[in-house]
């Protein structure tokens, strides 16, 4: 297997693009298929803080860490934990100027950063991978949404929670956690929403309900371009649990407020003052410990391999998955064996972290009348990775 494989990557998210950068740099024939019609055609969601031991390490391996450091927002690393009922500040972490090791970057900015070095035509926009086949000679055939096919030696599934590549490896599917995040939007915040801007500060705000509002939480993030995104998170009612993104499609700010009884009026401004609802995001996770048989020509990284509740570690793990896989392929005399060995490394790493995330998430959104604050705060989970 000394000949370099022809590689298809499903998905142009952070993981897929990290892998594409490193593999293209090392002379591989790489094509990325992405369902978005362009890099900017769809809102990519909120900000990310990339951690030193994983997300930043991946960018270092890809030769892009300096660009990230020059682009990221170093002043937006604050963290505030606010009491849900009183609105009082329980914790405030404001790094001194010039300190803090996880500067924030908007998802769209990160995508553009990762796209810029790629050869023209590497990413094929407007069509996603929908199925995987095999030629009589044992090569892989990628079936695309637009009806075309593409032959290759290796398919890397970086196509997220609903991965079509995963479906070719295992029947295991992500499970709805029973919790949905409704994303809301504030623009021109310093001028139009000064109260919300002051509440959120320059970074992340979190508040977890504990009482009549249990099973609820509010989060907010300072983004670039004077934007704040807030997230109203709640355990859905029994009749919402089938497909909440459809059952809740017409939800209004007043509907949301009704799900947060007893909450501090100060915090409820994160709902009632919002300009619009941006997205309904049902939270899913793969069963912890999910694995699949080693399969020639197929592998997974990121959320396709180990999607877990959003506790600040998913994109960091995904990018490290991608960087280590690309390194393994480039450095191996038997690339197929290297792929399978790297799968084991990835899953051994992500399994315990997924368990921590699932446990903390269930503490936040437990069904009981009262539930504890998470014993593993989200901003510390990544620190326990190694």
CATH of the domain at 69: 3.50.50.60
Look at residue 187 in the predicted model and tell me its pLDDT: 97
DSSP strands (E only) in the chain:
6-10, 29-34, 47-49, 78-82, 89-93, 104-106, 123-125, 129-134, 140-144, 149-152, 154-157, 175-186, 203-208, 216-222, 228-235, 276-285, 298-300
Residue 212 resides in a domain:
yes
Question: Last residue of a domain, which of 285, 306, 328?
Answer: 285
Look at residue 241 in the predicted model and tell me its pLDDT: 65
Kindly write down the DSSP assignment for every residue of 278-344, as one continuous string.
Answer: EEEEEEEEPPTT------TTEEE-THHHH----SS-HHHHHHHHHHHHHHHHHT-SSHHHHHHHHHH
Residue 204 resides in a domain:
yes
Look at residue 237 in the predicted model and tell me its pLDDT: 74
Look at residue 243 in the predicted model and tell me its pLDDT: 67
Look at residue 371 in the predicted model and tell me its pLDDT: 32
Asked whether residue 300 falls in the same domain as residue 318, the answer is: yes
Domain count, the chain: 2
Q: Which residues of the chain have pLDDT under 70?
A: 1-2, 98-99, 211-213, 238-243, 367-386
Query: Domain residues for 231?
Result: 175-285
Asked whether residue 168 falls in the same domain as residue 71, the answer is: yes
Asked whether residue 111 falls in the same domain as residue 215, the answer is: no
Look at residue 242 in the predicted model and tell me its pLDDT: 63
For residue 343, count CB atoms less than 10 angstroms from its CB and return exposed for 0-12, middle for 13-18, buried for 19 or more.
buried
Look at residue 384 in the predicted model and tell me its pLDDT: 35
Asked whether residue 211 falls in the same domain as residue 261, the answer is: yes
Asked whether residue 38 falls in the same domain as residue 69, the answer is: yes
Residue 373 resides in a domain:
no
Look at residue 374 in the predicted model and tell me its pLDDT: 42
């Amino acid at each position: 297997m000394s000949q370099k494989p022809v590689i298809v990557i499903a998905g142009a998210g952070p993981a897929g693009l990290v892998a594409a950068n490193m593999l293209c740099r090392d002379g591989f024939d790489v094509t990325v298929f992405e369902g978005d019609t362009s890099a900017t055609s769809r809102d990519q969601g909120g900000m990310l803080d990339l951690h030193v031991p994983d997300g930043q390490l991946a960018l270092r391996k890809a030769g892009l860490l300096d660009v990230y450091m020059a682009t990221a927002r170093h002043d937006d690393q604050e963290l505030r934990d606010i009491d849900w009922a009183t609105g009082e500040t329980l914790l405030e972490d404001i790094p001194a100027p010039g300190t803090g090791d996880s500067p924030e970057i908007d998802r769209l900015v990160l995508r553009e950063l990762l796209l810029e070095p790629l050869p023209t035509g590497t990413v094929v926009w407007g069509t996603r991978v929908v199925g995987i086949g095999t030629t009589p000679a044992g090569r892989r055939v990628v079936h695309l949404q637009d009806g075309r096919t593409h032959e290759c030696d290796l398919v890397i599934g970086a196509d997220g929670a609903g991965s079509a590549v995963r479906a070719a490896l295992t029947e295991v599917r992500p499970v709805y956690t029973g919790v949905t995040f409704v994303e809301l939007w504030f623009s021109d915040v310093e001028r139009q929403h000064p109260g919300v801007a002051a509440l959120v500060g320059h970074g992340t705000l979190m508040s977890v309900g504990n009482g009549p509002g249990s099973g609820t939480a509010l989060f907010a993030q300072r983004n670039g371009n004077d934007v704040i995104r807030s997230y109203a998170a709640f355990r859905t009612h029994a009749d919402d649990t089938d497909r909440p993104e459809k059952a809740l499609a017409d939800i209004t700010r007043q509907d949301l407020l009704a799900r947060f009884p007893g909450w501090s009026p100060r915090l409820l401004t994160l709902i009632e003052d919002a300009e619009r609802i941006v997205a309904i995001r049902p939270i899913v996770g793969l069963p912890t410990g999910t694995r699949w048989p080693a399969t020639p020509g197929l592998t997974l990284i990121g959320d396709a391999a180990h999607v877990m509740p959003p506790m600040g570690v998913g994109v960091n793990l995904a990018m490290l998955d991608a960087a280590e896989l690309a390194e393994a392929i480039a450095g191996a005399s038997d690339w197929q064996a290297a792929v399978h060995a790297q799968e084991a490394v990835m899953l051994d790493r992500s399994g315990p972290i997924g368990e921590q995330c699932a446990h903390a998430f269930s503490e936040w959104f437990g069904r009981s009348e009262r539930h504890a604050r998470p014993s593993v705060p989200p901003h510390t989970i990544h620190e326990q990775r190694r």
